[in-house]
Amino acid sequence: MSKKFFLLLIGFSAYFLFGSFIIQPKYWLNKEENKKSNPTVETETLYNTYCTPCHGSQGDGEGELAYLLYPKPRNFTKGMFKLRSTPSGQMPSDDDLFKTIKNGMAGTAMPSFTFLKEDEIKSLVDFVKKLSQKCPPNQPCENYFTGAVTNPVKVPEPLASSAELVEKGKSVYTSLGCDKCHGEKGIGDGPSALTLKDGWGYPIPVRDFTSGTYVGGGSPKDLYLRFITGMSGTPMPSFESAINEMAGTNDADRQKYIWGLIHYIKSLEVKNASTQNTISPENNIIECQKSSAITDTDKLFGNSKIWSNAKTYSIPVNRLWQKTSNNQLLVSVSAIYDGQKVAVKMVWNDPDKTDNTYRIQEFQDGSAVQFSLTDKPGFHGMGSKDSPVDIWFWHSDWQARIGKDNNQLYAHSSYADGHTTDYPQSIHPNALSTGRDAGNNLSQDIKSSPVEAVSAKGPGTLKSKPTINQNVTGKGVWAENKWTVVLIRNMSGGKEEVQIANGKEIPVAFAIWNGSMNDRNGQKMVSTWYKLKVR
Amino acid sequence: MKMNVITSAVLLTLCLSTATDSTYAGNNGNTVAGGSVSGTVKFEGTAPKPRPINMVADKVCASQHTSTVFSEDAVISSTNTLKNVFVYIKDFKGTAPAPKGAVSLTQSGCIYKPHVLGLMVGQKLEITNDDALLHNLHGTPSVNKEFNVGQPKKGMKNEFTFDKEEVGIPIKCDVHPWMKSYLHVLKHPYFAVTDENGKFTISGVPAGTYTVEAWHEKYGTKTMTIKVTDGGSAMADFSMSKK
């Protein structure tokens, strides 16, 4: 071996041993060590998976899905954050940002990220702070958090609610002028409501207090902070100095004044009946319990004992395009399996049953369950290329069409003088119908199941499975202003289908469409990710 | 300690140089340091019709006015001069301590008085509610920090200061969407706002050659180079038009 070659070999060995160690720790170290040595790589991946689709990779609020959302995703580069515990004019504390990401913003498209680990959320807080900078042309960027002072407001213990306190709060509500925007009855219809705009010039709906849904949480302490600090980038001002002016300096008076107002606002909430006897999933886990044999769909409704072992979970779903009220709904979810089949039940309030497809201006009720095909779920809005999803989609209008052809459904039943173009097979049973005969599920004029099995690899990639792979059955029953929908499938699935087996934890999410609120397609109410634990 | 000595020396030099360069106090017996800049802002073309404000959203606001209130976003006189134009020296290098006195802005009859206001970095701005109803003071600066404070009571006052220079800070009331005012924050006192006749005067300007800018919320900006001499009066007439 020549000396030169020997030296070269040593050089190469040294490079492989140490060089790559230094240059590319990502490929060298195991996952845990990698995180310590180079946190930004993983944080950036997290941000890009869960935040970029809406907030954009630079945090400017111009993500590819931003146009589908209302209110718009926050632009971090303006340094304004809605939920603060700090006085007006200050930046939010790390804890404020942590809570915002963890809990999400109820009634808006911002989901809760309870399915992430605490240190993952913390690293996202740091990443968002890093993006929160102003970059004037030809000048260095200036981060809003550099040297920012944050003195969180101390929230005193709330006074217990009483009729007297609520009465006091009612007069405070008017004397402060809350009614100017929130309206006399607190339903968000005050005289100034329709002219309000957010910090980017978009119209902004006023909180409807009867909905009981608050972006920053609905506890009295949460409301105290919103009231005292205001909400940056919205018309909601800080009432801190107003309180000093109006409630006087006596602390007892001041407490009565503020908590009275908060208890009055809380008293306006209309209780949601469908959430009785339900629990919030602990650690985001929805248990799928063993049951007796799942047979006839009809036997899964009413007082069926088959669900007696199953727990009922209360899952919030939030509307992606906010309406003036009712942007959050609680869906009661339960799941069972018998070793062969699995059944998922969803129950939610819907006072108007809408399943008609005759008029183009009408939309239909629906619900869906989404499973991630990867253990770590992708973006909750229909997954991503690396993390596809399997969706079971129940359509109220498909159910109304079961066993009925178009003529029976529309023209002849709804309008005596109506006319629809005849499908070829209504003229001759063997006539060719290209879509139907090629196995396109959507071309079937007579529906046999109200459930559509679909797959997706990210927003805009939704694909109905071929007719032969439509393996999900189910049914919806509307009674007493409520929908109850049960979806059933074999536990083992085929290609691009979720495998449900004992001991598995499968990421799962839910969606609801309310036809009378004009929900359709992407415009719907969605939940964040949970885990279906089969035990 | 070494650092402190150097810093003090730098500060001392700065103080001295400011003192010699700009004795902006103006009238000091017979010796006048600096000169003045004055002029008129004309409006070119056909003046738009004054836009009446509809106060129907709040009856209390409407009840405080006996005649129609017009928007102040374009106030043009019969001789085509423009009111509420902020005129200031754009490239003045020195700084001056903020005056002790506060500048005041009042909400009266659901209108901001005055409509345009100049003040200095660090100077107090006192905003008062003269109406017995809820106003919110919502400042939406792009350099300074956003603020949004509710004033539900007549006579309520809030004080604000700005730590950075910024021209054209909008202040609005979300409750009454027609209410809008503009603040201009500078490091020096060489600014003025045009009156009903479109006239302005900036006095006590240290001698030198400067760029003067005229800023209007609707008609944009115009600049001009002028030369100020001790005891002299420089003229700066501007004309603005629809964009």
DSSP state of B143: S
Smallest CA–CA separation between A322 and chain B, in Å? Answer: 20
- Rounded Cα distance between B32 and B14, Å, is 23
Q: Tell me which chain B residue has its CA closest to the CA of residue A78.
A: B142
- Rounded Cα distance between B204 and B210, Å, is 14
Q: Say yes or no: A139 and A214 in one domain.
A: no
The candidate with the shortest Cα–Cα distance to A78, out of A234, A200, A197, A229, is A200
The structural domain count of chain A equals 3
C-beta atoms of B148 and A232 within 8 A: yes
User: What digits encode the pLDDT tens for the residues A284-295?
Assistant: 999 999 999 998
DSSP state of A127: H
Smallest CA–CA separation between A65 and chain B, in Å? Answer: 26
C-beta atoms of B152 and A175 within 8 A: yes
Domain final residue, candidates A240, A267, A294? A267
The domain of A108 spans 16-143
- Using a CB-CB cut-off of 8 Å, the residues of chain A touching B57 are 191-192, 195
A311 falls within a domain: yes
Q: Say yes or no: A465 and A327 in one domain.
A: yes
A151 falls within a domain: no
User: What digits encode the pLDDT tens for the residues A6-38?
Assistant: 555 554 454 444 433 343 333 333 444 444 444
ipTM: 0.81
pLDDT of residue A33: 42
Q: Say yes or no: A491 and A528 in one domain.
A: yes
To the nearest whole number, what is the mean pLDDT of chain A?
A: 88
**Residues A224, A220, A99, CA angle at the centre, nearest 5°?**
75
User: What digits encode the pLDDT tens for the residues A498-534?
Assistant: 999 999 999 999 999 999 999 999 999 999 999 999 9
Least confident of A265-269, A274-278, B66-70, B186-190: A274-278
Domain final residue, candidates A267, A294, A320? A267
A149 falls within a domain: no
Q: Say yes or no: A170 and A259 in one domain.
A: yes
C-beta atoms of B176 and A192 within 8 A: yes
A158 falls within a domain: no
- What end-to-end distance do the CA atoms of chain B give, in Å? 57
A305 falls within a domain: yes
Kindly list the structural domains of chain B, giving each domain's residue range(s) and its CATH number in brackets, ordered by start.
2-240 (2.60.40.420)
Burial B131-150 (b: 16+ CB within 10 A, else e): bebbbbbbbbbeebbbbbbb
Mutate to test the interface with B, among A77, A88, A172, A258 (most CBs of B within 10 A): A88
Tokens standing for B39?
């002029």
Q: Which residues contact A113 (CB under 8 A, 6 or more apart)?
A: A50, A101, A102, A104, A121, A124, A528
C-beta atoms of A199 and B140 within 8 A: yes
CATH (domain of A205): 1.10.760.10
- Using a CB-CB cut-off of 8 Å, the residues of chain B touching A175 are 152
The candidate with the shortest Cα–Cα distance to B60, out of B176, B178, B180, B179, is B176
To the nearest whole number, what is the mean pLDDT of chain B?
A: 88
Question: Residue A207: is its pLDDT beyond 60?
Answer: yes
pLDDT of residue A432: 86
Smallest CA–CA separation between B80 and chain A, in Å? Answer: 32
C-beta atoms of B150 and A230 within 8 A: yes
Question: Residue A381: is its pLDDT beyond 60?
Answer: yes
Q: Say yes or no: A338 and A244 in one domain.
A: no
Q: Say yes or no: A119 and A201 in one domain.
A: no
Residues of chain A whose beta carbon is less than 8 angstroms from a beta carbon of chain B are 80, 88-90, 175-178, 180-181, 191-192, 195-197, 199, 230, 232-233, 235-242, 245-246
Q: Say yes or no: A354 and A456 in one domain.
A: yes
Task: Measure CB to CB from residue A245 to each of B137, B153, B176 and give the nearest one.
Answer: B153
A211 falls within a domain: yes
User: What digits encode the pLDDT tens for the residues A60-77?
Assistant: 999 999 999 999 999 999
A244 falls within a domain: yes
Q: Tell me which chain A residue has its CA closest to the CA of residue B155.
A: A245
Q: E strands, B121-232, where?
A: 125-129, 135-139, 147-151, 157-160, 166-172, 180-186, 191-193, 199-205, 208-216, 220-228
Tokens standing for A36?
């310590």
pLDDT of residue A407: 61
- Using a CB-CB cut-off of 8 Å, the residues of chain A touching B158 are 241
A430 falls within a domain: no
Confidence of residue A402 (pLDDT cuts 50, 70, 90): confident
Q: What dihedral do alpha carbons A321, A322, A326, A330 form, nearest 10°?
A: 50
pLDDT of residue A390: 98
Q: Say yes or no: A211 and A84 in one domain.
A: no
Q: Say yes or no: A189 and A317 in one domain.
A: no
Q: Say yes or no: A92 and A201 in one domain.
A: no
Q: Say yes or no: A176 and A54 in one domain.
A: no
C-beta atoms of A235 and B174 within 8 A: yes
Domain final residue, candidates A210, A241, A267? A267
Q: Say yes or no: A342 and A403 in one domain.
A: yes
